[in-house]
Structure 1
Amino acid sequence: MKFPFKRALKRTLFGVFGATMLIGGLSACAGRGDHAWGGPMSEQRSADFRGKMIERVGKKLDLNEVQKQRLAALSDKLQEQRKALMASGTDPRAEFQSLVAGTQFDRSKAQALVTEKTEAIRSKSPEVIAAAADFFDALNPAQQQQVREFMQHRRGWRG
């Protein structure tokens, strides 16, 4: 005879594990204060960072002006998607902490957060994919190979 409680226990454990992974992953990406290594960036700071990133990548890949424009378009689309993910305007860490603030895990609020973030990704992804494809397709074969090598070695564009 199988114990019905055994199946429920497994489901509960998998659910808690999944929720923990989701919350841990999302809170790791959440803001950590306004300092050099993370946290909310002002529009100016964000624009400066994107400009430096485009210049750095442009030098590494020896991009021409058209390719830099496509990279800038990709950067803009990624920024739009980030804004859509942060659309609620609240502190992500506080949102996740509120899920466990009560005596029980707030399942409905967690599901609402997942639904909100999933919809933000779903609505902006086609634009991001198109911009990424336009940028990559505009690269010559040697530049495309550099991108592949970068992704394979997982090292940054710095020095």
Structure 2
Amino acid sequence: MKPWIKKTLAGIFGVSIAVGGLTACSSGHHHRGPMSAEKMAEVRGKVVERVSSKLDLNDAQKLKLNVLADKMEVQRTAFIGKAADPRAEMQAIVAGATFDRVRAQTLLEEKTRAVQANSPEVISALADFYDSLNPDQQQKVRELMQRRKGWMARG
């Protein structure tokens, strides 16, 4: 695999993890159950605004960033699946005297299919957004990604 493809895939994976982490942790440690649509929209708005301000995006770039956020939300929703409580799915795998390998494999395959089905759209949206950035903004993205705490860290 070519180095730029590896870096792109690693970047997409990192962005997906960051968005997932932000959505999971956004309302603090007392959060229970799935995040409401209103709270998700609030968190998404804050993330988009933070990225927009850090990179000084113009309106066209903000539009592409919103398209990326839409695609990532579709990816997240597909990854979570139809289960009301994803944690319960994992608990069920280890509930018996033995590890439920079949159930674990089925869950893994379901999640993998969800990622594979939506990844081309996420990659395309990420590429469109990144390509719309000017060289200075692209450099800032690279620099922010190099920071130890990540580029969405406070401060």
Q: Same fold (TM over 0.5)?
A: yes
Aligned twin of 1:156: 151
Change (3 A) 1:34 1:50: closer
Aligned twin of 1:111: 105
Aligned twin of 1:122: 116
Query: What amino acid is aligned across from residue 111 of structure 1 in structure 2?
Result: Q
Structure 1 unaligned residues grouped into runs of 5+: 1-28
Change (3 A) 1:102 1:32: farther
Shift of 1:97: 1.0
Change (3 A) 1:87 1:150: same
Asked if 1:79 corresponds to 2:76, the answer is no
Shift of 1:89: 2.1
Shift of 1:117: 0.2
Determine the C-alpha separation between the residues in 2 that align with 1:90 and 1:35: 19
Shift of 1:33: 9.3
Is the CA contact (8 Å cut-off) linking 2:71 and 2:121 kept in structure 1? yes
Aligned twin of 1:146: 140
Query: What amino acid is aligned across from residue 138 of structure 1 in structure 2?
Result: S
Asked if 1:134 corresponds to 2:124, the answer is no
Determine the C-alpha separation between the residues in 1 that align with 2:82 and 2:119: 18
Change (3 A) 1:74 1:108: same
Alignment partner for residue 41 of structure 1, among 35, 59, 70? Answer: 35
Is the CA contact (8 Å cut-off) linking 1:34 and 1:41 kept in structure 2? no
Task: Report the TM-score when normalising by structure 2.
Answer: 0.77
Task: Report the TM-score when normalising by structure 1.
Answer: 0.75
Q: How many pairs align? A: 130
Change (3 A) 1:124 1:96: same
Is the CA contact (8 Å cut-off) linking 1:74 and 1:132 kept in structure 2? yes
Structure 2 unaligned residues grouped into runs of 5+: 1-20
Determine the C-alpha separation between the residues in 1 that align with 2:39 and 2:105: 33
Shift of 1:100: 1.2
**RMSD of aligned residue pairs (Cα, Å):** 2.1
- Identity of paired residues, percent? 52
3-state DSSP of counterpart to 1:90 = coil
